[in-house]
Amino acid sequence: MRQIYLLEGKEDGDIIGENDEPIGQEEEPLVSVHAIVGATSHQTMRIRDNIKKKVIIILIDSRSTHNFLDVIVVKRTGCVVQQNKPLMVAMADGTKIASTATCKQLVWSMQDKEFKSDMRLIPLGRCDMVGWKESGVTRNYNGSLELVTYESLKEVIVEEMSKELQGLLKKYEGIFLEPKGLPPTRPQDHHIPLLPGSVSPSIRPYWYPYVQKREIEKVVNELLTVGSIQKSVNPSYSLVLLARKKKHELANVCGLLGTEQHHNQGQVSHSSDRRAIG
């Protein structure tokens, strides 16, 4: 029975600050545990594809740092192998394997799409190839594969507009002008007739602020008490007019101070509490 353990540790050494960057340090090649035991997770996908019409098992989007190809697949497919400097690859079980060969620009197909990538040769065992994340393959929400490509932004050259479009823009150039004033008259116009130059009304609930109103009422009550002024019985200058209706019922007719401008200002008594007696 084969058992695999993944151990991660740190060696004692100089402490590197947050702003310090190691110079000349490269990422150590690593083969994940999924590639060794053939298991999958939410970040991996096992698919069946081919190299030179030979069926292979590919592990896509694993935690491995490079693209790896099993040495047995090279013999089956007859891929061109290039010998290079040995590269130590750390396995998930803690062992290290030297990779001494590479397949340059290996062409492999997946769902009628061809890919090219450099493959390091090592014995994998449970899968034939391990695809790295930067190979341009991704998954969408329903599990199917999609090809992702990246292109740099280019300067967009705007071509000259056609004569038909220029004529159309000139004909309706008023639509693109900044509006000034009210919109033109339409067949369905405003239902309320507006007077020229009219402004929105601004009517306060009281002629004076609440604090002054209380003081005025206090002074008026004192003047009424000593008899300096008296209540007005003229209904024309009341805040609320009481009009008689049939069967001697009283009805309130609301009015506002300042709306009757035809009366004689001298007839207005100096009283703030004006009541109409029905």
Predicted model pTM: 0.36
What Cα–Cα distance (Å) separates residue 43 from each residue in 34, 40, 139, 197, 228?
10, 8, 10, 70, 95
Q: Residues 6 or more apart from 272 whose CB is under 8 A from it? A: 216, 217, 220
Q: pLDDT (tens digit, 9 = 90+) per residue, 99-151?
A: 788 888 887 777 677 777 788 888 876 677 776 544 455 545 455 555 555 45
**Which helix or strand (DSSP H or E) is residue 165 part of?**
helix 163-171
Q: pLDDT (tens digit, 9 = 90+) per residue, 145-190?
A: 555 554 556 666 667 888 888 899 889 988 888 878 777 777 776 6
Hey, what domains does the chain have and what are their CATH numbers? 30-147 (2.40.70.10), 210-263 (no CATH)
Q: pLDDT (tens digit, 9 = 90+) per residue, 175-233?
A: 888 878 777 777 776 667 777 887 777 766 667 777 888 898 898 899 888 888 877 77
